[in-house]
Structure 1
Amino acid sequence: MKLILQQEVKGLGKKDAIVEVSEGYARNFLLPKKLALPATDSTVKQIKDQQAAQARREQQAMDEARMLASQLSKVSVTIGVKTGEGGKLFGSVTGKDVADAIERQHGLTIDKRKVELKDSVKSIGTYNATVRIHPDVSAQVSVNVVGE
């Protein structure tokens, strides 16, 4: 019997998968617990349409992420901070500071959680920050830390 899974079933498949199972398993377990629906022509078409729409949304998000990454790769930001003797900072520069500087200086809105600094920035100098825009797309931003 062909069924469309409504949620992931261990050992059988993920949500929206079309699976072939025995009639007893379907009638006694999957259907009463509302884990699956019978695979009629209309429900199969509906699932296929939903999957195609999801693929289009994911492709559009990927294209937007690549465009933003190409803009960010050309970006260099300058962050002015208070310093003590020897160019040491009071505190450190964080991902939030970098995201705010990108928004102020270039008008690109970046989530602070997407900005990664390899080392803690505690002195004046130039550093590289990685901005993870999408799971598959990231960009390098040059961060220039200067004293005020």
Structure 2
Amino acid sequence: MKLILTAPVAKLGVPGDIVEVKDGYGRNYLLPQHFAIKWSRGAEAQIDQIKRARAAKEIKTREQAEVVREQLEDFKVQIAVQAGESGRLFGAVTPGDIVLAVKKAGGPALDKRSIEINKPIKTLGTHTVGVKLHESVKGHVAVETVAA
């Protein structure tokens, strides 16, 4: 099955790439999650539009990524969550929650797909979360979860 990616997919490609995948993978995962659209000659015209949107959003150079990393290192964001008496959260903190908290605190605009949470955040306290800013630059932001 030939598809055009609309979102970055690990070990497959970035938005705007034309990829050949097995039918089941494309039909059951990539298309329903809106990570890709079916390839056609008409859809191929959308590739330029997808690539322009990606270029506008992403950090273009390593120097820009270094500047954003320095901004993030100084940030400590608080996220108010509902928790039980033992300090366990009702649910978990998601990458979208972290991006929103950084934005509200006056930090740089991030993409939720760039947030790397190694272990789900399900307890109150301070946690360090990785942020992939560029191919070779990774930053960290401190996330403190407090009871609401």
Shift of 1:74: 1.0
Q: Does 1:75 align with 2:75?
A: yes
Q: Which has the higher helix share?
A: 1
Cα deviation, residue 128, structure 1:
0.3
Give the TM-score, by structure 2 length.
0.57
Percent identity between the aligned chains? 34
Deviations 1:11-69 (A, max 9, x none): xxxxxxxxxxxxxxxxxxxxxxxxxxxxxxxxxxxxxxxxxxxxxxxxx6111111111
Q: Confirm whether residue 116 of structure 1 aligns to residue 116 of structure 2.
A: yes
What amino acid maps onto 2:85 in structure 1? E
Q: How does 1:54-65 map to 2 (within 5 A)?
A: 61-65=61-65
- TM value normalised by structure 1: 0.57
Aligned to 2:130: 130
Match of 1:100 in 2: 100
Which contiguous aligned blocks of 4+ residues in structure 1 show a shift greater than 6 angstroms?
Answer: none
Aligned length: 89
Q: Give, in whole Å, the separation in 2 of the partners of 1:97 and 1:145.
A: 11
Q: Which runs of no fewer than 5 residues in structure 1 stay unpaired? A: 1-59
The two structures, once aligned, show a CA RMSD in angstroms of 1.1
| 1:106-144 deviations in Å (ceiling 9; x for gaps) | 242100010111211111011000010001011111110
Matches within 5 A, 1:46-61: 61=61
Question: Are the counterparts in 1 of residues 75 and 107 from structure 2 also a CA contact under 8 Å?
Answer: no
In 1, Cα distance between equivalents of 2:90 and 2:83: 6
Over alpha carbons, which structure has the higher Rg?
1
**Alpha-carbon displacement from aligned partner over 1:78-113 (angstroms, at most 9, x marks no partner):** 100011231111110011111110011124210001
